[in-house]
A and B are shown apart, each in its own frame.
Chain A
Amino acid sequence: MRSWYAPAYRTACLVLNDASGAEEAVQEAFLRMWRFRDAMPEGEAARPWLYRVVVNSCYSWARKQWSTDGRRAPSDSLARLAEASPGPDEIVVIGDRASAVRAALARLPEALRVPVVLRYYSGLSEKEIAVAIHRRPGTVKSRLHEARRLLSADAALSEFAAPEEGTR
């Protein structure tokens, strides 16, 4: 469990863009894992299962925040976080690549942000992401493609792109 905590916590941070919320969500996720430890798959299948619990805990935390604020859940869950984040120009001036990535992620729709975080930070394959977010692999593939397109078009991140464009 201890070895899983750091990657789970950082994944939640990237999904929620909120450190305290991520801490609370991961705590809840680990408690759920403990409660349903008998249902945990064996071997390689355990990894997407664990991330699935973490992602769902993040969703729960986000819903709780909306209800606490007395507002209905917006279709784009972290739009308000993106508004509170520094703009691309400011980030580039500061030169903080991590902040630029977080801000770009916050501008992504939730449906795209979760798979892209699981893919490029957590290192899950498309099949494992499909298990984690309970979607078909084709859906995951299209969402990853769309997320890559939007992130590449993001002014803050385009500054960090290599001069010669690589494609996948």
Chain B
Amino acid sequence: MITDDEFEGLFHEAGGDFAVPARGPDEILAAAAPPVRDGSVVPGRFRPRQLALAGTSAAAVVALTVALLTSSGGSPAPLAASAPRHGIANTSTASTSGTNNYAYKAMASPFPPGAKKAASQAANAAARDIIATGTLKLGLSRARLRGDVARLEALAASFGGYVSAADIVETGSRPGGTIVVKVPAGSFSSFISKAEKIARVRSLTTSDTDVTGEVVDLGAQLTALDDERSQLEVLLGRAGKISELLSVENEIESVQSQIQQIQGEQRTIATQVDYSALTVDLLVPKAPHVSSSPNGFGHALHEAVSSFVNGVKALVAHLGDVVFGVLSFVVVALILFGLWRSIWPWVRRRIA
């Protein structure tokens, strides 16, 4: 058994075997000092976590710049929001009535010649995160409303999608509604092609939003916050005072909240990227007006009374001037008659 003295000797021998870096304390004191001294930056070999944070931030900025240049620069964006897709230009958005409703039918193929090339470019840009959405307006009869909704649901299910929201009105003067279908992004075009065959297409709009830069930015933020949380957790164990403990705990709670928020945003974006949303507006033509008045004798009596009242109203309206004239004439006649009755005895005496 080795004694304590022997252990101490062996350990001091082992520890003394390590050469102490001469620059160590000086560099620590320099790192503890303010970062700028006499206008020059203190050499930053220390604080590897801070260097890692700075490196991560710089990488995120570079990645964002590259993503922005790629999406809006000279190179064509394969799925840019303004690019027409499925053969339907964005200008068809507002055409829900009139002759424009049928302009869509003039197009022989839903895919223009350049669409396949764009799809190929999209396949090449597999690393990009794109959110695809669309709005499809279908015109259908009231009788087919329920059946077409069921067909859309079945079609979505066949593509591995689902109906995320539905607002259908089958009765009343304005039947119709809207359903939102979400299908896997890879099947979005195929789904639209099949959905167009269910009913008459009034209009179709699609848009693609490139969120690659946002995804990269969120990832960089998450990495930096994870690192910060780790550092704070270490500090938490070193806190010597209650006030320091509470301060570090509050800071950790804040960082944790930010991490959860970013993770939530990442999940939302991932869902939107994985599943494309198509809003299908189901438009049913307005039904013709049907009178609700009763038939038979009641109807005849009702019409007679209405006609009499209307006739009286018309008579009063049109004879108003005549009545006024007659009344004026009567008043003038009465005045003249009164005058004649008062003057006639005097005239009679003069004649006599």
The reply to whether chain A is a binding partner of chain B is yes
- Chain A residues with CB under 8 Å of chain B are 1-2, 5-6, 9-11, 13-14, 19, 22-24, 26-27, 30-32, 34, 36, 38-41, 49, 52-53, 56-57, 60, 63, 97-99, 101-102, 105, 116-117, 120-121, 123, 134, 148, 151-152, 157-158, 160-162, 165-168
A32-B238, A34-B28, A158-B2 provided; 11 other pairs, C-beta below 8 A?
A6-B20, A14-B11, A27-B31, A31-B32, A31-B46, A98-B17, A123-B8, A152-B2, A160-B2, A161-B2, A168-B3
B41-78 CB contact bits vs A (8 Å, 1 = yes)?
A: 00000111000000000000000000000000000000
A167 to B47, CA, bound (A): 45
- Selected from A13, A36, A102, A162, the residue in CB contact (under 8 A) with B238 is A36
Q: Which residue of B lies closest to A165 (CB)?
A: B1
CB distance from A143 to the nearest CB of B (A): 14
A56/B27 in contact, CB under 8 A = no
**Residues of B contacting A24 in the complex (Cβ-Cβ under 8 angstroms):** 48
9 contacts between A and B (CB under 8 A): A5-B24, A31-B46, A31-B47, A121-B8, A121-B12, A161-B2, A162-B2, A166-B1, A166-B3
CB distance from B35 to the nearest CB of A (A): 13
CB distance from B313 to the nearest CB of A (A): 92
- Chain B residues with CB under 8 Å of chain A are 1-8, 10-18, 20-21, 24-25, 27-29, 31-32, 46-48, 230, 234-235, 237-241, 244
B4/A23 in contact, CB under 8 A = no
Beyond A14-B11, A101-B11, is A120–B4 a contact (Cβ under 8 Å)? yes
A14/B24 in contact, CB under 8 A = no
**Residues of B contacting A9 in the complex (Cβ-Cβ under 8 angstroms):** 18, 20-21, 24
**Residues of B contacting A158 in the complex (Cβ-Cβ under 8 angstroms):** 2
A70 to B235, CA, bound (A): 23
CB distance from B86 to the nearest CB of A (A): 44
A99 to B28, CA, bound (A): 29
Q: Which residue of B lies closest to A5 (CB)?
A: B25
B11/A117 in contact, CB under 8 A = yes
CB distance from A54 to the nearest CB of B (A): 11
B10/A60 in contact, CB under 8 A = no
**Residues of A contacting B10 in the complex (Cβ-Cβ under 8 angstroms):** 97, 101, 120, 157, 160
What 8 A-B pairs have minimum CB-CB distances, sorted nearest first?
A: A39-B240, A166-B3, A101-B14, A98-B17, A10-B15, A120-B11, A121-B11, A13-B18
B48/A1 in contact, CB under 8 A = no
A148 to B7, CA, bound (A): 9
A36/B244 in contact, CB under 8 A = yes
**Residues of A contacting B21 in the complex (Cβ-Cβ under 8 angstroms):** 9, 23
CB distance from B8 to the nearest CB of A (A): 5
**Residue among B31, B46, B240 with most chain A CB within 10 A:** B240
**Residues of B contacting A52 in the complex (Cβ-Cβ under 8 angstroms):** 238
B24/A27 in contact, CB under 8 A = yes
A101 to B15, CA, bound (A): 9
A36/B239 in contact, CB under 8 A = yes
Q: Which residue of A lies closest to B3 (CB)?
A: A166
A53/B32 in contact, CB under 8 A = no
B1/A120 in contact, CB under 8 A = no
Q: Which residue of A lies closest to B19 (CB)?
A: A19
B6/A1 in contact, CB under 8 A = no
A23/B2 in contact, CB under 8 A = no
Q: Which residue of B lies closest to A6 (CB)?
A: B20
CB distance from B1 to the nearest CB of A (A): 5
**Residues of B contacting A19 in the complex (Cβ-Cβ under 8 angstroms):** 18
CB distance from B237 to the nearest CB of A (A): 6
**Residues of A contacting B5 in the complex (Cβ-Cβ under 8 angstroms):** 166
B11/A53 in contact, CB under 8 A = no
A11 to B15, CA, bound (A): 7
B238/A151 in contact, CB under 8 A = no
**Residues of B contacting A60 in the complex (Cβ-Cβ under 8 angstroms):** 234
A23/B240 in contact, CB under 8 A = no
Beyond A27-B28, A98-B13, is A22–B8 a contact (Cβ under 8 Å)? no
A27/B7 in contact, CB under 8 A = no
A36 to B236, CA, bound (A): 11
- Selected from B1, B7, B13, B25, the residue in CB contact (under 8 A) with A1 is B25
Beyond A5-B25, A98-B17, A101-B13, is A161–B1 a contact (Cβ under 8 Å)? yes
CB distance from A4 to the nearest CB of B (A): 9
A102 to B16, CA, bound (A): 11
A105/B14 in contact, CB under 8 A = yes
A118 to B28, CA, bound (A): 23
**Residues of A contacting B240 in the complex (Cβ-Cβ under 8 angstroms):** 36, 39-41, 49
**Residues of A contacting B11 in the complex (Cβ-Cβ under 8 angstroms):** 14, 101, 116-117, 120-121
